[in-house]
């Protein structure tokens, strides 16, 4: 009977003994008290885990109390060693595979960077008197995605979090200011040449004027209609709204309404003294400066370019003053500004063509099909795809500038609230920017500044640590 009683007591003891806390074993349990055991019969007697210390984070959790590491009884003195934060990303090895981009050799790179952090195991050492602990460094791969809990100031892992606690990663740039006055998405940013004022348009129906020196909002222009595009040329600012383009002169204060478009004006561009507006009805409207000094408006509608079957969402002007248009009908059209006729239709995407940009003698196009195409002109005068870059998410926009070494950098705004930066022509990733919502607009400023606007109405001011030379065309 005694044997049975002992057995039952043993079974009851095993049932009531809690399992060992796996987070305590990893040295990152932040619960006090914890319902799991902070001891393990499998650990060696000379190992001690700092299992209940508080991690460095901006917001202290309510259920976690800060505790210092106490020396265990009957053990040699111990010292608490802090976890070192990784200071930089180490480049990974590049593959030897070569590809051709725009006639140039490019090296294919897989996962160009990885970040490591240190996990700490504190051990007793018998042969050291002053230093009683040693650090066992275990490399942990750092994600290149932003921590969603850090964005809301609720992450409890601090430096040990596997995701990024920063609005960017990569060398060479930093964030200067975050201006949040718009109530809805920022869809256009304009910085007139020679002006110290920045203009931003939003779907909240306003255009705001900012002081570039102080970051203060100097004024608000109410247009009573969603602003879906914004561009500047000389002393003129043009804003795309429903069924019209609003224009005003920042020197004289004169403002005009350019009628003609049907539906929302989704894209604007200026080239060869012609203002182009891509509208929701699939038509591109073209204005020139009026030659009649007595005309009510300084601009006159000179042509309408028809050919797209769905809304025109992006426009670009090439190095030969050739306009390109991208549409929701998945096509790109090339136009002649002299004859105002379509000369070519490019079919290289399977979804909406979201952005167009000209780099050197090449045309780059992005799409919701998660690709970026590089188009090159053949000897026959036909544009063909020379290289296709693929992203994990839909690509919303392309923007270009050069770094301090005059290397062209492509900014690729993607769904997933990030902007990837690539060096051309290799498409080697240089870094990423992160925002609460996807980037909808981009503008290059002086002295290495550039501006981004996102879907929440936030206007971010960024700066290269070294001043770039000239922007891409």
**Could you tell me if residue 366 is left (phi over 0), alpha (psi between -120 and 50 degrees) or otherwise beta?**
beta
Domain assignment present for 352: yes
The whole-number pLDDT of residue 246 equals: 94
What order do you get walking across the sheet with 140-142 strand by strand?
90-91, 113-117, 140-142
Structure token pair of residue 419: 């902007």
In the chain (473 residues long), the average pLDDT of successive 10-residue segments reads 46 60 75 76 43 36 40 44 42 40 36 39 40 42 73 80 78 79 93 89 94 89 93 93 93 90 94 90 92 81 92 88 92 88 93 92 93 91 92 92 83 88 90 84 84 89 63 42
Domain assignment present for 42: no
Residues 401, 412 contacting (CB under 8 angstroms):
no
Q: How far apart are CA 38 and CA 53, in angstroms?
A: 13
The CA distances from residue 436 to 96, 152, 199, 285, in Å, are 37, 10, 21, 34
Q: Which of 119, 108, 168, 157 is nearest to 141 (CA)?
A: 119
The whole-number pLDDT of residue 368 equals: 95
Tokens 């490591």 sit at which residue?
Answer: 116
The pTM (predicted TM-score) of the whole model is: 0.67
Dihedral over Cα of 387, 413, 88, 450: its sign: positive
Dihedral over Cα of 92, 94, 99, 103: its sign: positive
Residues 435, 417 contacting (CB under 8 angstroms):
yes
Domain assignment present for 85: no
CATH number at residue 184: 2.130.10.10
Domain assignment present for 17: no
Dihedral over Cα of 210, 211, 213, 214: its sign: negative
Q: Which of 88, 69, 90 is nearest to 80 (CA)?
A: 69
The whole-number pLDDT of residue 17 equals: 64
User: Which run of H or of E encompasses 151?
Assistant: helix 148-151
Based on the structure, what is the number of domains in the chain? 1
Domain with 378 in it: 165-464
Structure token pair of residue 310: 């769905």
Domain assignment present for 349: yes
Domain assignment present for 160: no
Domain assignment present for 254: yes
Domain assignment present for 318: yes
């Amino acid at each position: 009977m005694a044997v049975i009683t002992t057995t039952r007591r043993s079974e009851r003891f095993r049932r009531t003994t809690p399992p060992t806390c796996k987070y305590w074993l990893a040295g990152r349990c932040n619960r006090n008290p914890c319902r799991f055991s902070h001891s393990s019969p499998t650990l060696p007697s000379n190992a001690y885990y700092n299992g209940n210390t508080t991690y460095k984070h901006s917001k202290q959790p309510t259920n976690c109390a800060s505790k210092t590491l106490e020396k265990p009884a009957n053990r040699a003195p111990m010292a608490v060693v802090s976890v070192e934060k990784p200071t930089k990303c180490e480049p990974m090895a590049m593959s030897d595979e070569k590809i051709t981009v725009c006639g140039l050799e490019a090296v294919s790179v897989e996962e160009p960077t990885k970040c490591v952090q240190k996990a700490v195991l504190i051990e007793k050492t018998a042969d050291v008197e002053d230093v009683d602990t040693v650090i066992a460094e275990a490399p942990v791969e750092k994600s290149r995605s932003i921590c969603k809990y850090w964005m809301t100031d609720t992450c409890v892992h601090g430096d040990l979090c596997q995701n990024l606690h920063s609005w960017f990663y990569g060398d060479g740039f930093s964030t200067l200011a975050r201006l949040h006055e718009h109530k809805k998405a920022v869809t256009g940013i304009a910085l007139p040449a020679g002006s110290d004022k920045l203009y931003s348009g939003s779907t909240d129906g306003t255009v705001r004027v900012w002081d570039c020196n102080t970051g203060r909002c100097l004024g608000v222009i109410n247009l009573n209609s969603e602003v879906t595009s914004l561009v500047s040329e000389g002393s003129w600012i043009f804003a795309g709204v429903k069924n019209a383009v609003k224009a005003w002169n920042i020197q004289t204060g004169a403002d005009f309404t350019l009628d003609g478009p049907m539906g929302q004006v989704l894209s604007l561009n200026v080239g060869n003294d012609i203002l182009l507006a891509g509208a929701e009805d699939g038509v591109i409207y073209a204005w020139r400066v009026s030659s009649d000094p007595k005309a009510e408006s300084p601009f006159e509608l000179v042509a309408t370019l028809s050919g797209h079957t769905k809304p025109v969402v992006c426009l670009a002007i090439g190095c030969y003053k050739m306009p390109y248009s991208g549409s929701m009908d998945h096509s790109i059209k090339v136009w002649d500004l002299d004859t105002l006729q379509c000369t070519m239709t490019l079919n290289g995407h399977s979804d909406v063509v979201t952005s167009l940009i000209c780099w050197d003698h090449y045309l780059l196009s992005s799409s919701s099909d998660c690709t970026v195409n590089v188009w090159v002109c053949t000897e026959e005068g036909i544009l063909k795809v020379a290289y296709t870059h693929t992203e994990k998410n839909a690509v919303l926009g392309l923007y270009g500038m050069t770094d301090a070494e005059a290397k062209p950098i492509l900014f690729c705004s993607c769904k997933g609230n990030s902007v990837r930066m690539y060096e051309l022509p290799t498409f080697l990733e240089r870094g990423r920017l992160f925002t609460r919502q996807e980037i909808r607009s981009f503008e290059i400023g002086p002295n290495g500044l550039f501006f981004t606007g996102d879907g929440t109405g936030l206007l971010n001011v960024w700066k290269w640590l070294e001043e770039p030379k000239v922007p891409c065309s």
